[in-house]
Amino acid sequence: MKKSICIVGLGYIGLPTAVMFANHGHKVHGVDINESVVESIRNKQLHIEENGLQERLDEAIDSNMFTVSTTPVKADVFILAVPSPISEDKTANLEYIRSASKAIAPFVEKGNLVILESTVPPRTVQDVVIPELIPTGLEIGTDLFVSHSPERVIPGRVFEELISNDRIIGGVNEESAKMTSDLYRSFVKGQMHETDDTTAELVKVMENTYRDVNIALANELAKLSATIGVNVWEAIRLANFHPRVNIHQPGPGVGGHCIAVDPWFLVELNPEIAKIINLSRKTNDGMPAYTADLLTTILQAKGIETNEAKVAVLGLAFKGNIDDMRESPSIDVVEELQKRALNAVAFDPHIKKNNLEIQTQNMDEALEGAEAAIILTSHDEFKNLNPAQIADKMNRKIIIDTKQCIDREKWQAAGFEVYVLGDSKNSPM
């Protein structure tokens, strides 16, 4: 049965989810507190970058199955897909969740389903969402059904994974879980795994914590490898041939709204227990400083005066081929370079608006007169960059590749010195 759905939050998860439901026969109303976002969507203009989103948005609006505004409307189903960031003290900021829950309360009616999609600390449904729904007077689990079904997609492949990935469905009771599973079967081909809401909350945070801890291991191995004459990328590749080993890749830090944030939810629950998780977060948060030190050491070894030396920063998004800067370690690397009195100029082909004072929309401007260029994001534009086209622009032909994304031999053949994070077998220093 087709439903009317009100989705609160039209960002990287909410908007793709909204158009998927609209494209599959449900009447969807999207809500966002940002008026400019609402106006852009209404005019079929994207405020985020995602493969296949434009076509799906056009179809959803042209078919009159998708409308948007800054306020909720009555519906059969309410989906909350708002941010759940961390505060400066590394504790969860759940005010967006609380505000969204409170905003829909006046529109909720008997028989409705409320789904929280945002990734949150365990017990958020019980301690934040439900208390805001209590004033409706509806009995939770009998009159009003509530569940948590966390998104499990990656930017750049959102639609592919919305369809194919299994979903965790955590209901406050069995009926809530069943109603949620039935709804997502509109387009999800993956399996539905039903459980309770708090378990579902923990599962999503566990998934991202596993990856964060694994990346911290890779980063420690990268640091060790650099001291013993080993290329960590080759060592990891070989280790992963073991059928029970899957070591992740090192890099300049961990970004994105999930992996860099969610582990702190568990640390906050009990810091005395979550010691490995805490240390892993600190290890990964320390990589931007390590990366800046690596660059400074290379320049100094070449006799280059680092004070006000220009460095081209290539990549600001936290991941290749997307425009998402949330929690991007590139931002922290830039700050660390500035602390070392380096003149950083940044370019990212996927981020069309300057979000930093040192950002430019012209790669040549970033490279012109630079003593070195440091690649922080593995965009295809950087992987496929022709070294001959930029050789004359830079003051020195020095490339630091923190993602192992360029062909070192090709760049060395063009006269560049190439340094790779975690590989002591670089060009002679």
**What does the pLDDT look like over 387-423, one tens digit per residue?**
998 999 999 999 999 999 999 999 999 999 999 999 9
Q: Is the per-residue pLDDT at 240 higher than 50?
A: yes
- Interval 332-348 mean pLDDT: 97
Looking at residue 306, its pLDDT comes to: 87
Q: Is the per-residue pLDDT at 88 higher than 50?
A: yes
- pLDDT tens digit sequence for 68-79: 999 999 999 999
Collapsing DSSP states into helix, strand and coil, what is residue 363? helix
Angle at 54 between CA 49 and CA 59, to 5 degrees: 155
**Which residues are part of the catalytic machinery?**
204, 258
Q: Is the per-residue pLDDT at 337 higher than 90?
A: yes
Contact status, residue 365 vs residue 340, Cβ threshold 8 Å: no
pTM of the model: 0.92
Q: How many helices (H) and strands (E) does the chain have?
A: 18, 14
- Interval 354-375 mean pLDDT: 95
Q: How far is residue 35 CA from its own chain's centroid?
A: 23
Looking at residue 428, its pLDDT comes to: 38
In a 13 Å sphere around the CA of 59, the CA atoms on its Cβ side amount to 15
Write out the two tokens for 27.
């009447």
307: exposed, middle or buried (C-beta count within 10 Å: 0-12, 13-18, 19+)?
exposed
- Interval 308-331 mean pLDDT: 94
- Please give the share of the chain, as a percent, with pLDDT higher than 90: 93
Q: Is the per-residue pLDDT at 426 higher than 80?
A: no
The position carrying tokens 């990891």 is: 236
- Interval 133-162 mean pLDDT: 95
Contact status, residue 396 vs residue 371, Cβ threshold 8 Å: yes
- pLDDT tens digit sequence for 117-129: 999 999 999 999 9
Looking at residue 429, its pLDDT comes to: 35
Looking at residue 427, its pLDDT comes to: 42
Report the Cα–Cα distance between both ends of the chain, in Å, rounded. Answer: 67
The position carrying tokens 């629950």 is: 269
Give the C-alpha separation, 55 to 45, whole Å. Answer: 11
Looking at residue 173, its pLDDT comes to: 98
- pLDDT tens digit sequence for 179-219: 999 999 999 999 999 999 999 999 999 999 999 999 999 99
- Please give the share of the chain, as a percent, with pLDDT higher than 70: 99
- pLDDT tens digit sequence for 16-45: 999 999 999 999 999 999 999 999 999 999
Type and span of the H or E element at 401 = strand 398-401
Give the C-alpha separation, 323 to 325, whole Å. Answer: 6
- pLDDT tens digit sequence for 256-302: 888 999 999 999 999 999 999 999 999 999 999 999 999 999 999 99
Residue 385's closest CA among 287, 312, 297?
A: 312
Residue 60's closest CA among 14, 26, 104, 95?
A: 26
- Interval 133-157 mean pLDDT: 95
